[in-house]
């Protein structure tokens, strides 16, 4: 079976669709303006990635949906949110390695390293 068929099979499986449905809310929260909602979503993904129930499903979800959002979180104004995104990506790279998503992650990391850190506004 080809790699493309494996992806299609995973994306269509009931178990994956249930997992994706449970986590869609958190994916959407990562794009919210409210920093607390973004942090809540990142904390949820940190728990999910830290103790996976099904690594195949988590790997597919990470590569297909989550990784892109985490890369965007590297530009978050809140340092804690940036740190959480990095922790999640680190955990996933330790679990499943680095494949096609490296084309997104590595340039984002290089861009972050070349920037002056954000100044956080006073609370």
Contact present, 74 and 117 (Cβ < 8 Å): no
Q: Where are the domains of the chain?
A: 3-113
What does each C-alpha distance from 53 to 16, 82, 96, 111 come to in angstroms? 12, 25, 14, 33
Q: How confident is the model at residue 4 (pLDDT cuts 50, 70, 90)?
A: low
pTM exceeding 0.95: no
- % the chain with pLDDT above 70: 76
Contact present, 46 and 89 (Cβ < 8 Å): no
């Amino acid at each position: 079976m080809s790699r493309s068929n494996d992806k299609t099979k995973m994306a269509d499986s009931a178990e994956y669709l249930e997992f994706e449905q449970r986590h869609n809310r958190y994916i959407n929260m990562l794009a919210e303006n409210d920093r607390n909602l973004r942090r809540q979503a990142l904390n949820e993904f940190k728990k999910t990635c830290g103790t996976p129930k099904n690594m195949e499903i988590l790997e597919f979800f990470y590569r297909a949906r989550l990784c892109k959002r985490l890369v965007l979180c590297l530009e978050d104004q809140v340092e804690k949110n940036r740190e959480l995104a990095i922790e999640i990506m680190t955990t996933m790279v330790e679990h499943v390695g680095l494949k096609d998503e490296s084309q997104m992650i590595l340039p984002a990391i290089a861009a972050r390293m070349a920037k002056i850190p954000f100044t956080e506004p006073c609370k």
